[in-house]
Chain A
Amino acid sequence: MSSVPAKMRAFLIRLSGSVRGRRGANEFDEELEAHIAMHTEAGIAAGLDEEEARRQALVKLGGAEQVRQAQRERTGLVWLENLAQDLRYGARTLVRAPGFALTAIATVGLGIGACTAIFSMVNAVLIRSLPYGDADRLVYLFTPNPLLKIPAEVLCPGYGDYLDIRQQNHSFESMSNLVQTRFSLDERGMIQRIGSARVDEDFFRTIQAQPELGRAIGAMDVQAGRDKVAVISHALWVSMFGGRANVLDKSLTLDHARYQIVGVMPAGFEYPLGTDLPYGDSQTKSTQIWVPLVLSAAKREEHEPDDNVTIARLRPGVSVRAAQAEMSQMMAALDVKYPGDPKTELGPMRAHWGALVKKFTDISVGPVRPLMRLLLAAVGLVLLIACGNSANLLLARAAERARELGVRTALGAGRGRMARQLLTESLLIGAAGCVVGVVLAYLFLRLLPRLDPGNIPRLNETSLDWRVLLVAAGAALFTSVVAGLLPAWRSSRVELTEFLKAQGARAGSRGHSGTQSALIVAQTAMVVVLLAGAGLLIRSYIKVVTVDAGFSQSTVAFNVSLDDGYKEPEQQVAFFKHVAESLNALPGVIAAGAVNKLPLSNSESITMMFVEGSHSNKEFQQAEARYVTPKYFEAMGIPLLAGRYLTEEDYSRRSQVAIINKRLADIYFPNRNPIGARISTDREADGWKDFNTVVGVVGDVRHVSLEEEAEPQMYYGNYQMNGAYVAVRSRLPGSILTSEIRATLKGIDPQLAITDIRTMGDWVSLASARRRFQTSLLAAFAGIALVLGLVGLYGLMAFSVNRRTREVGIRMALGAKRRDVLMLVLRNAGVLIGTGLIAGLACAWVTTRVMRSFLFGVSEHDPMTVSAVSLLMIVCGIVAALVPARRAASIEPMRALRME
């Protein structure tokens, strides 16, 4: 009947009526009084006596009190007033029991905080959309070769093959090649190395990103002579050009060449990030400059893989599997169409280049997905433990308030209303816990940059956005309902007669209910699972960091890349000779030497080789090969096991010598002296030539990863490198050495930037950063869980001791000793802990299986972890129970009996 605006108006008036309270009540009394008076007068006028007239008026009215009640209900909103009343009452009861309230809020807050923090991370890494169009349709196209013992995701098809595929395929909407590079950017004389990429004309179209300013790189740019144009990142635009609009009139000096700026990408687009490519340039964390990729006619005909990365966008509706099938077929056809030159190194492999189509998201976030899931599962458990704690606290409170609740029921409070009251209290705790949790999550985010292992994509973009806050609120609601429902349901079943009868003998034999015990057992089990998981990770971490990487951790290393000024081999040789000599001449320096690939720097060079006279030779066998300058081994502290190190004479005489590692010696020279043996890496169609004589055997070095055994390794003496890491061992303190190195290099060529200056210990630390990250997070959560579990146990024990004061008094009066009472409580706690421990270990036995991929050097059922966890749980449990137990033992029997 009434229109919607009228209803709204009425609702708002009633709402304000509820909030303002009862100002209109007196006025209505007056109105009602006037009504009755008028009616009575009318009655008198009709001949009734006054009393009868008033009585009839009241009857006709339907009772003054009833009318007042109806009017009251219409004035405000009844449900709202009830809710407000519940909230006021709930808040008051919480304030009256601050210990209880604070414990519950802290408990719930920790649980919600852990959840919110981890979810905010997962949100940034896995959920938030990427600035690359529809990222789900982006794929990489690799070309693995079974004969090469390298990961499948290292090489992409050669340019010749690529061009054929681009022309003939039906799977991809568009395809693109890019080559990672690092430019020396000259900014008013300051040289910086900037992560960059050479990209072809289809790159921005494929990745579906458009410049916010200017234009992208197009077909007209990828031609020699017209390629000196650059697109820059938003970050570079802001830092170098102050974000000014005239940037398109400016140019950049990259490796001594001038590039005209033609475009600026929007903020957040820095593809490829270090984590976007499976085996990208390890020093490039993000890309700031894109320049055209120019292919010479020769390169367009080249069918062997180059250093390009091929990215493609699937046509809508085409699955990865379909694309994979088409690419496999195409590569097989190309392998036949373009037979390789058997004389070249990769030529004989031509028949075996395959295809591997992998989703971009699998490459970038795929590797961290299991970790994110593990952390989510861990915080899920923490939240459940917090729920259990909160429920137990509420149950204890409900039991203590049984009298109050009973009285209220007796006075006519509805059961629903009672349950609602308890649920409201739980919601209040949840709401406060939510605030605490969000604050904790915020603190965690402040701490996160210090934990960032640097190889989790977009971890640095973690923030508290609306989605995270929604999850925090959801977790709070979940906790409140789960923790509140049980006590609410139980207390709404308070039987009045039971309550009245139970006034004398209050509790059962244990002083607490089975529900409370079950909660503690379940919590303990969950704590044990988390502790076991964390224990396994800690054990793995210790094993990883104590692994002997094969070099001295105090050695300082830095990277220097030569620019276009060092095109001739002689110039490169001269440069590194000069650097080695100058550094070795520094006072305090023990040794300094260069290497083209530093251990653990995530770049590797692999060569095929043949060992003369060995019975272990196989086809296509490989070794890691490095160029080093004379004092590299001494500088790195790599021990000499047999023979000799390289000497300056080896270089000047260009003698054909090599140094091998222990692993290579063990495999190919099982029972003969490798010194003097000859190894070739130059297969002229298996007529191996250019043999090098082994002059020394050195210790194994973990080049690729701390967690992988060293492969066969070879070292050649060579000063000719266009870039290298230089290792320096010195007695000087790190900071002095660093500035000495900088000064020395500046003296040799001020135009060259030196980067990555750090100790080998820092490289080890970087290589174990992910492990440290996951271990410390899981350990922190296990710690939180343990504390929560102990708080729960302590709370329950304290509660039941409190309730059993009288019983203990009787026992002691009957001759029980204090020790007996102490043991009684401890035994009680021990049963709970023991049951929980057994249940937890059983769960852990099953669940730690999912952690197998996270472990290093320990089995998922590591007996040491199991015993350590059990011991920790038992000791902590006893400590938590000891305080209430001692309080029970200190009960004075006479006082206890006089109580109540």
Chain B
Amino acid sequence: MGDKTDVWQGTLALMILKTLETMGPQHGYGLARRIEQTSGDLLQLNYGTLYPALLKLEQEGYVRSQWGTSDNNRKAKFYELTKAGQKQVRRATADWEQTTEILSRFLTPAEEA
């Protein structure tokens, strides 16, 4: 149980960070929608899981939050990347690319054969 959640949370954290990097400050609902859209609706995302992940990132100092007003004039909490967060995106992206690269070397020849 722990392992699966960790991997999931790990990837979710990277998705959140990357989305914030490209879109700028965003509230939770917007982030959830955006991640779902980006994944091409392949991801079954419980929007609720986003909030503990955001809290964790905030505790780790990668994002910060403040109250603001949404497009349709509603009070909402906006999240944005910190400096440490920007660094973390780069580091995590590199890590993830390396992982998929290694994995694909295992998987690709098997498919070709």
Interface residue ranges, A against B (CB under 8 Å): 1-3, 6-7, 9-10, 13-14, 28, 30-32, 34-35, 37-39, 41, 60-64, 66-67, 70-71, 73-75
Contacts of B77 in A (CB 8 A): 31, 34
Known: A35-B28, A39-B29, A70-B49. A7 touches B60 (CB 8 A): yes
Q: How far is the CA of A67 from the CA of B29 in the complex (A)?
A: 14
Q: How far is the CA of A605 from the CA of B77 in the complex (A)?
A: 98
Contact A10 B59 (CB under 8 A): yes
Besides A9-B61, A31-B28, A34-B77, 14 more A-B contacts (Cβ < 8 Å) are: A1-B10, A6-B61, A10-B61, A28-B51, A34-B29, A37-B74, A38-B76, A39-B47, A60-B47, A62-B47, A64-B48, A67-B51, A70-B49, A70-B52
Known: A39-B29, A60-B47, A62-B46. A6 touches B74 (CB 8 A): no
> Is the CB of B55 closer than 8 A to any CB of chain A?
yes
Q: How far is the CA of A351 from the CA of B1 in the complex (A)?
A: 86
Contacts of B88 in A (CB 8 A): 2-3, 6
Count of chain B residues with Cβ under 8 Å from any Cβ of A?
Answer: 29
Distance in angstroms from B105 CB to nearest chain A CB is 22
Q: Could you mark each residue 1-22 of chain B with 1 if its beta carbon is under 8 Å from any beta carbon of chain A, else 0?
A: 0000000001001100000000
Known: A14-B59, A38-B70, A39-B29. A1 touches B95 (CB 8 A): yes
Give the nearest-CB partner of B96 in chain A.
A1
Within 8 A of A (CB), among B35-68: 46-49, 51-52, 55-56, 59-62
Contact B13 A1 (CB under 8 A): yes
Distance in angstroms from B87 CB to nearest chain A CB is 9
Q: Which of A30, A39, A67 is the most central at the interface, judged by chain B CB atoms within 10 Å of its CB? A: A67
Contact A6 B62 (CB under 8 A): yes
Enumerate 6 A-B pairs (CB-CB under 8 Å) in ascending A order. Answer: A2-B60, A2-B62, A9-B60, A10-B61, A60-B47, A63-B48
Give the nearest-CB partner of A27 in chain B.
B77
Contacts of A61 in B (CB 8 A): 46-48
Distance in angstroms from A684 CB to nearest chain B CB is 97
Q: How far is the CA of A23 from the CA of B74 in the complex (A)?
A: 23
Distance in angstroms from B54 CB to nearest chain A CB is 9
* In the complex, the 8 A-B pairs of residues with the closest C-beta atoms, listed nearest first: A67-B48, A62-B46, A62-B48, A10-B59, A6-B60, A74-B52, A13-B59, A38-B29
SS class, residues of chain B in contact with chain A: helix
Distance in angstroms from B80 CB to nearest chain A CB is 15
Q: Could you mark each residue 63-93 of chain B with 1 if its beta carbon is under 8 Å from any beta carbon of chain A, else 0?
A: 0000000101011110000001000100010
Contacts of B28 in A (CB 8 A): 31, 35
Q: How far is the CA of A30 from the CA of B76 in the complex (A)?
A: 8
Contacts of B60 in A (CB 8 A): 2, 6-7, 9-10
Contacts of A31 in B (CB 8 A): 28, 51, 76-77
Contacts of A13 in B (CB 8 A): 59
Known: A38-B76, A62-B46. A71 touches B84 (CB 8 A): no
B72 contact from A10, A39, A41, A74, Cβ within 8 A: A41
Q: How far is the CA of A31 from the CA of B78 in the complex (A)?
A: 10
Q: How far is the CA of A240 from the CA of B92 in the complex (A)?
A: 72
Contacts of B46 in A (CB 8 A): 60-62
Contacts of A32 in B (CB 8 A): 51
Q: How far is the CA of A31 from the CA of B77 in the complex (A)?
A: 6
Q: How far is the CA of A847 from the CA of B94 in the complex (A)?
A: 72
Contact A71 B52 (CB under 8 A): yes
Give the nearest-CB partner of B47 in chain A.
A61
Contact A71 B76 (CB under 8 A): no
Q: How far is the CA of A62 from the CA of B30 in the complex (A)?
A: 16
Q: How far is the CA of A7 from the CA of B61 in the complex (A)?
A: 9
Give the nearest-CB partner of A36 in chain B.
B29
Contacts of B27 in A (CB 8 A): 34-35, 38
Q: Which of A2, A67, A70 is the most central at the interface, judged by chain B CB atoms within 10 Å of its CB? A: A2
Contact B55 A71 (CB under 8 A): yes
Contacts of A34 in B (CB 8 A): 27, 29, 70, 74-77
Contact A10 B47 (CB under 8 A): no
Give the nearest-CB partner of A65 in chain B.
B48
